[in-house]
Structure formats: C-alpha cells, structure tokens
Structure 1
Amino acid sequence: MTRRLFRYVPFTIEQDRTAEPEYEARCVSGDAADCGACSGTYSGPAPVEEWQRTHTQATGHRRYRRNFGDYAVLRPAAEHVRQHRPAANPVR
C-alpha cells in the first residue's frame, strides 16, 4: 500500500500586473432582439464609456452589457509575505 501525505498550502490570489485588464460593452437594447453593437476592447473604461454615450446619442439605446476581464496569479502565502515584507530598519 502506498502512503501519501497531502499538505494544505494557502494561496493568495492577485491581479497579474504584467497583463492589462480589458474593458468592453455591448448594446443589449432592442425589443425583438439585442442591437448587438460593440465598443471594442480597451485597457481602460474611459473609451468604452465614451462609446456608450455616443451610441446612446445616435440610437437612443440605453442598456449595455459591460465586461471586465483580467488575469490572476496564485501565489503561496509564504511567497506573498516575503514579497511584501517591509525592509529591515536601517541602522542609525
């Protein structure tokens, strides 16, 4: 019989700062079907919000599905503590 030992290793979940987040919106206004117009994908919310304002002015549509996406990194908690530990007090 093989014996196995499983250890619990706590992890932290952090946003991956090396990858830009993604913002976009799609118009879901319409009676029989959604309009479906899409803002495109941007690295910040401002261009998407401006697209929504412009689309509403042009069409009168006021309902949007907004999407935000990012990447996550899991790190063992001990690694997180080492990376975020303050530097030792300097000798005076």
Structure 2
Amino acid sequence: MTRRVFRYVPYAITQDASAEPEYEARCVSGDEVECGAESGTYSRPDPVEEWQRRHTQDTGHRRYRRDFADYAVLRPAVELAEA
C-alpha cells in the first residue's frame, strides 16, 4: 500500500503583469433584435467608454454588454511574502 501525504499550500491569485487586460463593449439595445455594434478591444477602459458615449449620441441606444478579460497567475503565498 502506497502512502501519500498531501500538504496544503495557500496560493494567491494575482493579475499577470506580463499580459495586458482587455476591455470591450457591445450594444444590446433593441426590443426584438440587438443592435450588435461593438467597440473593439482595448487595453484600457477609456476608449470603450468613449465609444459608448458616441454610440449613444448617434443612435440613442443606452444598453451595453461590457466585457473585461485578463490573465491570472497563481503563486504560493510564501513567494509573495518574500517579494
């Protein structure tokens, strides 16, 4: 019989600084069919928010689906304490 010992190692989840986050929005205004216009993907939220303002001015649409994506890294908590 093989004996195994599992040791709990606490991990911290941090944003991966080597990869830029991504921000984007899509217009979901419409009663039966969504508008579907998209902002495009940016590494900062500012251009997406400006696109939303302009799209609302041009169309009167006011409902958006916003997406944020990033990469996460799990590091043993002891590594963070040593840094």
Pairwise same-fold verdict (TM > 0.5):
yes
> Structure 2: which 5+ runs fail to align?
none
Q: For 2:75 and 2:60, how far apart are their aligned partners in 1?
A: 46
Match of 1:15 in 2: 15
Q: For 2:69 and 2:55, how far apart are their aligned partners in 1?
A: 22
Moved beyond 4 Å, runs of 4+? none
Q: Name the % identity.
A: 75
Q: What is the SS of the residue equivalent to 1:78?
A: helix
Q: What is the SS of the residue equivalent to 2:33?
A: coil
Partner amino acid for 1:14? T
> Structure 1: which 5+ runs fail to align?
84-92
TM-score, normalised by the number of residues in structure 1: 0.87
Cα RMSD of the aligned pairs, angstroms, is 0.6
TM-score, normalised by the number of residues in structure 2: 0.96
Partner amino acid for 1:35? C
Q: What is the SS of the residue equivalent to 1:29?
A: coil
Q: For 1:53 and 1:77, how far apart are their aligned partners in 2?
A: 42
Partner amino acid for 2:16? D
Q: What is the SS of the residue equivalent to 1:73?
A: strand
Answer with 1 or 2: which has the greater Rg. 1
Partner amino acid for 2:31? D
Alignment deviations for residues 17-74 of structure 1 (CA, whole Å, 9 cap, x no partner): 1111100000000010111110000000111011101111111100001111111110
